[in-house]
Chain A
Amino acid sequence: MTVQRILPSEEAEAVVDLARQIADAELAPRVADFEARGEFPREVLRTLGRAGLLGLPYPEADGGAGQPYEVYLQVLEELAYRWVVVAEAVSVHTLACFPLATAGTDRQRDTYLPQLLAGDLLGGYCLTEPAGGSDAASLSTSAVREGDRFRVNGTKAFITHAGVADFYALFARTGGPGAGGVSCLHVPGDAPGLLPQRPEDKMGLNSSPTAQIVFDDVMVDADRLVGELDGGFRIAMAALDAGRLGIAACAVGLAQAALDHAVEYARQREQFGRPIIDFQGLGFLLADMATSIAAARELTLYAARLKDAGRPFSTAAAQAKLFATDTAMRVTTDAVQVLGGYGYVSDYPVERYFREAKVLQIVEGTNQIQRLVIARRLAKGE
């Protein structure tokens, strides 16, 4: 990857260098094998955790690395360039820590966050349900207060890290219908009655388990309520604003990987006596791919810098997620085209990139929801 990065500090350079070093040595050699076998790279994530890369954007006082989102996202991009599942795992873990980090009490943060950010534990995020994807506020999993505990019943769907996560940020209904009746609970992964189901057979991201989780009379201590009672939906949406940036960064890294592979191929592959990159039809295609990736990266980092500056960033985050993931889909599709028949066979990674890109247009809010977010802001005259 030959991306010129402008990083805000010497410390940030060291963070990105370290991520790149580990990604080259630990991710790149394993990705094809783990994807083919569908094995989750838990040990690789421990290595990232021990290096301090699982708590990057959270304050040092809570056990994080105190890095701006601008830096965290470039680390995700470096990881996604080698193995998008690992980058997504870091993004989902960061998302799962978000409620405690931003809405937890001092005591909750002291009790839970250091171990969550230290790198040994991995998180999952339980919002989506079988009947409630984009319409997340309609969720029906219930958490009923009984004494000093909540009794949780219901089913969550498409949960990344289902069965391998050590904890989950769970959103459940504690009050009336709609967004105003949802609360957030910090739930241990081994809680009795928390039942991860058989992993879904997916189109891509095969090394990461995605499954339904059934909550069957799971008892959660009331002091694991994060934020206010019935105040969880706001936390969920704020987490997704930040999480969208993570997915945008994953998309940029994935697209860059596809471009680099396509360019290398097009420079070496000869037809009619010259490298195919010299044919304008392909050269221009690659030029457009490179340009849209550069634009996606800058839009993503622009949204991150707004967040880092404490400014409203949810519209920019929606735009970045929309543009970066649509770019990844188009770039990976075109990369398959550049490789022709070789692009369609699994001896080369580009068909995998193509399959992986698709899900990025769906998770953390479909790209239709991103457009909805942006259009609503426009309609309000903001």
Chain B
Amino acid sequence: MKIVVLVKQVPDSGLERHLSSDFTVDRASASNVISELDENAIEAAMALADAGQADEVTVLTVGPDHAVETIRKALSMGPDKAVHVQDDAIAGSCAVTTSAVLAAALGTLEYDLVLCATESTDGAVGGMAQMLGARLGVAAMTGARKLTVDGQKLTVERQTEDGHETLTASTPAVVSVWDSMNTPRYPSLKGIMAAKRKPVTTLSLSDLGLAPDTVGAAGATSKVVQAEPRPPRSAGQRITDEGEGGVALAEYLASQKFV
């Protein structure tokens, strides 16, 4: 089976992040890293490769020049090669237009399974797998915490608020994963060295047959018009115990879905 894993370079979620003046994510001044859950998608692909169920793993990303650092990071975990869609006209894309670019790029690749994160740590839209499924005309199974492959049959345990549901589909398909699926491996020293020599194909919009005005800020289906910093943390809610304190606590926790 051939697997394509989608990865995205994002500002480090552990550090302070900013928006640019046009309300797009400020990537230029940020410390950029691979989006956390993408490592779980790579791990899922490499686990299948280690088990002899995948014979080729390709990393696919859309992003500016420096996204190649994220490609190398991804390749150091074991995938065979990478495709980098890079075009200045893509800047400012919304999730919908990004999915058009990714679908076009996937059209140039052979794949049985597309793996991605359920959401990225920057936009956190959480709709890429669904949109790609629709554009590619294949099944999209989202929010997976477990994935098993039996020939052409894929079985996914999908995490829900109440528990999980089991989905099956035949290949080709798109599966998005949560971090509950696995623990990503560290790259090995040999993997880091090998990553420098692995092939990375760079594609432009014209390579994909996409017109520049259908993507990027020009083609975006949504636009952020206002943004405000998160308000400072307010004082907590105080429960005075008049004999019913325990009940009130339990009700609060239940309302917040902690219990």
Contacts and interface: CB of A to CB of B under 8 A. Distances in A.
A185 interface: no
B101 to A, nearest CB: 31
A47 B188 CA distance: 10
A50 B189 contact: no
A11 B186 contact: no
A22 B186 contact: yes
Contacts of B189: 14-15, 18, 51-53, 65
Interface in B220-259: none
B54 interface: no
B169 interface: no
A346 interface: no
A268 interface: no
B203 interface: no
A18 B188 CA distance: 8
A21 interface: yes
Interface string A325-339: 000000000000000
Interface centre among A21, A52, A65 (most CB of B within 10 A): A52
B186 A50 contact: yes
Contacts of B193: 11, 14
Nearest to B193: A11
A22 B192 CA distance: 14
B186 A21 contact: yes
Contacts of A22: 186
Interface string B190-230: 10110000000000000000000000000000000000000
B187 interface: yes
B135 interface: no
A71 to B, nearest CB: 11
Interface residues of B, number: 8
Nearest to B195: A14
A51 B188 CA distance: 4
A50 B188 contact: yes
A60 to B, nearest CB: 9
Contacts of A65: 189-190
A225 to B, nearest CB: 32
B153 interface: no
B188 A14 contact: no
Nearest to A48: B186
Nearest to A17: B192
B185 interface: yes
A337 B185 CA distance: 41
A283 B143 CA distance: 54
B152 to A, nearest CB: 32
A18 B186 CA distance: 8
Contacts of A51: 186-189
Interface in A118-147: none
A15 B191 CA distance: 11
Contacts of B188: 50-52
Contacts of A11: 193
Contacts of B190: 52, 65
Contacts of A21: 186
Contacts of A14: 189, 192-193
A50 B187 contact: no
B75 to A, nearest CB: 13
A22 B193 CA distance: 17
Contacts of B192: 14, 18
A47 B185 CA distance: 9
A377 B116 CA distance: 63
Interface in A38-69: 47, 50-53, 65
B187 A18 contact: yes
A369 to B, nearest CB: 34
A15 B76 CA distance: 12
A375 B239 CA distance: 73
B72 to A, nearest CB: 10
A22 B189 CA distance: 12
Contacts of A53: 189
Nearest to B187: A18
A90 to B, nearest CB: 13
Contacts of B185: 50
A52 B186 CA distance: 10
Nearest to A10: B196
Interface in A304-356: none
A11 to B, nearest CB: 7
A11 B197 CA distance: 13
A221 B254 CA distance: 66
A148 B187 CA distance: 43
A155 B190 CA distance: 40
Contacts of B187: 18, 51
17 contacts: A11-B193, A14-B192, A15-B189, A18-B186, A18-B187, A18-B189, A18-B192, A21-B186, A22-B186, A50-B188, A51-B186, A51-B187, A52-B188, A52-B189, A52-B190, A53-B189, A65-B190
Interface of A: 11, 14-15, 18, 21-22, 47, 50-53, 65
Given A47-B186, A51-B189, 4 more contacts: A11-B193, A18-B187, A22-B186, A51-B187
8 nearest A-B residue pairs (beta carbon): A52-B189, A52-B188, A14-B192, A51-B186, A51-B188, A65-B189, A52-B190, A22-B186
